[in-house]
Amino acid sequence: MAFMLPSAEMQIAGGSAAPETLEHYRARGGYGGFQRARAMEPDAVVADVEAAGLLGRGGAGFPTGAKWRLVRATEGTARYLVVNGAEGEPGSMKDRVLMARAPHAVLEGLLIAAHALAATQVLFYVNDEFQDALSALREAVATLGAVPGAAEWASRLVLVPETHVYIAGEETALISVLMHQAAQPWHKPPYPSDRGYQGCPTAVNNVETLAAVAVLMQHDPRWFQAERPALFSVSGDVAAPGVYERPLGYRLDQLLADAGGPPPGHAFTAVLPGGYSMPPVFPAQFGVALEPGALRALGSGLGASIIAVASNRTLGAVAHDILAFFARESCGKCPVCVKGSQHLAEALGPAASAALSPDQLAGVLALAAKYRKKGICSFLDSAAHVAEAITPHLGVAR
């Protein structure tokens, strides 16, 4: 199945394919969703998105329709749509591939959202490491004049390429950057839907969320619930890492097989189905459906990417890499986050090369408990959560 992308599988290693043209996108139904949406009252568009049950694809899984409803409930003020093209977590590649290969799918969703929100302006943040994405988007925007009704919204769209740091992908930090402030989150509330860009109601949406809105509106909520289109970044120890368009609920073992299986001569030992922020699952659990409910039942969840771990490296080495990443990327606003992420990385240091002793293991778990729910955003909590979930699988040394 390929609804958002022009083809169902896009391998990163496969070199650069040209972005899909407006002609090609239209030939597969593109911009039909925008035409349907603009013939509808904005509230009816929001109702369709709510009825489809679309959950945001930026990591937090917040219902998109509910977010738009909150923004629409405000009156007498400017409203903003902020598009999140930050994608800073290692392993995730779906957003950059989507922007670079299917820029019109993202733009169609953006036009629908702008109409539904009656947005004053649309600010599209793009991580400036993604030069392919930026040039594809610029070219696609330049052709929007040929799409009936699009010119008005295109004139309110600003592409904002930014030198990226990981925390800038968090929605309040992202808004701060757009307002020329430091890339640091603020404590919520206020939520962006209430007070965001320039202090006005703002919907922040991930680029895949918007592409999903486009295909949803090209069809209808019932179709969307049946097809459940989604993109999965598959990285780590697989023969064919890349972006795979598969329905939500697709089995993990099938996706791993689609991605070429483990490297030759090795076997999978674990998978992180929610990237850097969710606990691992193990081979006996690989029959799990990739959807929030089924993964929750295993104590895990979906996130930015699916990271495979095979017998060519240890889970301990992966855990250490993840915690070292968190320690490097803490933005510095909360001392507890700076200190906590460093402590966790140091405590997991020995796991990079050996099993943990019972004392070392207990030490990591104590630190993880200490740092859960600390800091003003979910950054340190994610680091502690992952450390807490992986560590019990790393011990045996005496």
Ligand X SMILES: Cc1cc2nc3c(=O)[nH]c(=O)nc-3n(C[C@H](O)[C@H](O)[C@H](O)COP(=O)(O)O)c2cc1C
Per CB under 6 A, residues contacting ligand X are: 56-60, 62, 64, 84, 86-88, 167, 169-171, 204-206, 209, 377-379
Instruction: Indicate the SS3 state at residue 319.
Output: helix
The DSSP annotation for 205-236 comes to EEHHHHHHHHHHHHS-HHHHHHH-EEEEEEEE
Cβ nearer to ligand X, comparing 42 with 63: 63
Which residue's CB is nearer to ligand X, number 115 or number 393? 115
Spatial CA neighbour of 174 closest among 331, 344, 300: 331
Burial profile 206-235: b = 16 or more Cβ within 10 angstroms, e = fewer: bbbbbbbbbbbbbbebeebeeebbbbbbbb
Closest listed residue to residue 373, CA positions, set 392, 351, 388:
388
* Secondary structure percentages of the chain, helix, strand, coil, to 5: 50, 15, 35
Select 65 or 350, whichever has its Cβ closest to ligand X: 65
Minimum CB separation from ligand X for residue 60, in Å?
Answer: 4
Residue 277 CB, nearest distance to ligand X (Å)? 8
Complex with ligand X: residue 206 or 269, whichever CB lies closer: 206
CB of 233 to ligand X, least distance (A): 12
> How far is it, in rounded angstroms, from Cα 34 to Cα 213?
10
CB of 378 to ligand X, least distance (A): 5
Rounded to 5°, angle at Cα 92 from 28 and 136:
45
Closest CA to 310 of 267, 353, 351: 267
DSSP letter at 160 equals E
CB of 83 to ligand X, least distance (A): 9
SS3 16: coil
Q: Name the residue nearer to ligand X (CB basis): 169 or 316.
A: 169
Work out how close the CB of 146 gets to ligand X at its nearest, in angstroms, rounded to a whole number.
Answer: 27
* Nearest distance from C-beta of residue 63 to ligand X, angstroms: 8
Q: Which is nearer to ligand X, 124 or 286 (CB)?
A: 124
Strand pairing category for 242-247 and 9-11: antiparallel
Closer Cβ to ligand X, 76 or 189, answer by number: 189
